[in-house]
């Protein structure tokens, strides 16, 4: 299972709110809800998150075996 727990920590460390994230990279509130629920998102969204936060994929998601 892919979880986005690291995303929220990275956002906090970099001073990003969900509002700022939506505004800076065009992610809609529906996608934010999907991230919070650890649901599937598109790879282009992961790319947008990494660009906006100036981080790598390892800073926003983690694979945890079921």
The secondary structure of 7-60 as a DSSP string is HHHHHHHTT--HHHHHHHH---HHHHHHHHTT----HHHHHHHHHHHT--GGGT
Q: Using DSSP, state whether 50 is helix, strand or coil.
A: helix
Q: Over the stretch 29-58, which tens digit does the pLDDT of each residue have?
A: 999 999 999 999 999 999 999 999 999 999
Domains, the chain, in order of start with CATH, read: 2-63 (1.10.260.40)
Percent of the chain with pLDDT over 70: 100
Q: Is the pTM of this model over 0.85?
A: yes
| Residue 9 confidence (pLDDT) | 96
**Quick check: 24 pLDDT over 90?**
no
| Residue 6 confidence (pLDDT) | 97
CB count within 10 Å of CB 10 equals: 21
Percent of the chain with pLDDT over 90: 86
């Amino acid at each position: 299972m892919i979880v986005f727990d690291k995303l929220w920590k990275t956002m906090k460390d970099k001073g990003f709110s969900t509002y700022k994230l939506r505004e800076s990279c065009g992610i809609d509130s529906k996608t934010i809800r999907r991230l919070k629920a650890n649901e599937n998102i598109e790879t282009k969204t992961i790319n947008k998150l990494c660009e906006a936060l100036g981080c790598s994929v390892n800073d926003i998601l983690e694979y945890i075996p079921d």
